[in-house]
């Protein structure tokens, strides 16, 4: 196992089209004892392969709350258009080999996922970034455009990410039941080599990225290798009120 200086940066913005202020909603703290961003931070801190965890935000309320529960947090520019840009700003001030991007709205993220994505990148000299995927076993999930799919080459590098079903099964049958075919759900966690991340954040969006609304396609469009590790863990993002309610119900029954 290669030893790397890895830092997790959690981009945390207040604005959200469907659920504004979701990372610090008081109702979540009332039910679960922690804010969403606090769940993420504390879970990530359990990873064994990291040296530091930093929340990157442009919002004073989030900044104060993270400080309040003892977390490390940095203010970033309000002009960033993506979480990657926000992470890149913080990365420019860091001495690290690997930067891990963990979404601030995934309170059930497992620390083992952090270690796995770091190991995937550290163990592959050709890849400039790594991410995770797990197996899709449900036809509805496969058909859901909110579930991002990924297909790999024989060496475990991403060939393409899409909101559509990939690969597409031409014959009229249930794709999930096709023998020898595995469908993969992409999980939104990334490990980047530091120098690549600083370069990557300055690349213009590609037509594929704009079409699918998937930022990772920028790397593929520019010919970079993205290593994908298959994991048994999963994590659910909180995008809607329904997602929020489901998370709090799961928490109460765990």
**Ordered structural domains, the chain, with CATH:** 6-253 (3.90.550.10)
β-pair type (184-193, 129-135): antiparallel
- Say which residues have a Cβ less than 8 Å from residue 239's Cβ, sequence separation at least 6: 18, 19, 105, 146
Question: How far is residue 170 CA from its own chain's centroid?
Answer: 31
* Contact criterion met (CB below 8 Å) for 83 and 9: no
* Contact criterion met (CB below 8 Å) for 71 and 55: yes
Question: Can you tell me the distance from the alpha carbon of 149 to that of 169, in angstroms, rounded to the nearest whole number?
Answer: 14
How many Cα atoms are found within 13 Å in the side-chain-facing hemisphere of 109? 34
Query: What's the sign of the alpha-carbon dihedral 120, 123, 126, 128?
Result: positive
Instruction: Find where tokens 């993002």 sit.
Output: 237
User: pLDDT, tens digit, for every residue of 22-36?
Assistant: 999 999 999 999 999
User: pLDDT, tens digit, for every residue of 174-201?
Assistant: 888 888 889 999 998 999 999 999 999 9
Residue with the bigger pLDDT between 141 and 253: it is: 141
What's the start-to-end Cα distance of the chain, in Å? Answer: 34
pLDDT at 99 over 90: yes
Question: Can you tell me the distance from the alpha carbon of 113 to that of 135, in angstroms, rounded to the nearest whole number?
Answer: 15
User: pLDDT, tens digit, for every residue of 197-230?
Assistant: 999 999 999 999 999 999 999 999 999 999 999 9
* Contact criterion met (CB below 8 Å) for 165 and 149: yes
Question: Can you tell me the distance from the alpha carbon of 198 to that of 201, in angstroms, rounded to the nearest whole number?
Answer: 6
Question: Can you tell me the distance from the alpha carbon of 131 to that of 43, in angstroms, rounded to the nearest whole number?
Answer: 18
Element (H, E) at 64: helix 60-68
At residue 171 the predicted structure's pLDDT band, cuts being 50, 70 and 90, is confident
At residue 2 the predicted structure's pLDDT band, cuts being 50, 70 and 90, is low
Q: Say what the pTM is.
A: 0.93
Token pair of 40 as six digits? 């993420």
């Amino acid at each position: 196992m290669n030893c790397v200086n890895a830092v997790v940066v959690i981009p945390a913005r207040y604005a959200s089209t469907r659920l504004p202020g979701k990372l610090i909603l008081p109702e979540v703290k009332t039910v679960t004892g922690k804010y969403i961003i606090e769940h993420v931070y504390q879970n990530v801190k359990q990873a064994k392969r990291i040296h530091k965890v930093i929340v990157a935000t442009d919002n004073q309320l989030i900044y104060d709350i993270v400080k309040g529960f003892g977390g490390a947090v940095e203010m970033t520019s309000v002009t960033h258009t993506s979480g990657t840009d926000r992470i890149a700003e913080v990365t420019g001030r860091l001495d690290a080999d690997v930067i891990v991007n963990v979404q601030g709205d995934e309170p059930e993220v497992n620390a083992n996922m952090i270690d796995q994505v770091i190991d995937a990148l550290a163990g592959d000299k050709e890849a400039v970034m790594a991410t995770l995927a797990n197996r899709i076993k449900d036809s509805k999930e496969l058909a859901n455009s909110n579930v991002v799919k990924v297909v790999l080459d024989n060496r475990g590098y991403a060939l393409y990410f899409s909101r559509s079903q990939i690969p597409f099964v031409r014959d009229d049958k249930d794709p999930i039941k096709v023998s020898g075919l595995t469908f993969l759900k992409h999980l939104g966690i990334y490990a980047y080599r530091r120098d690549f991340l600083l370069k990557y954040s300055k690349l213009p969006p590609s037509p594929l990225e704009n079409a699918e609304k998937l930022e990772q396609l920028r790397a593929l469009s520019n010919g970079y290798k993205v290593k994908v590790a298959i994991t048994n863990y999963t994590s659910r993002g909180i995008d809607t009120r329904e997602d929020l309610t489901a998370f709090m119900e799961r928490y109460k029954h765990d």
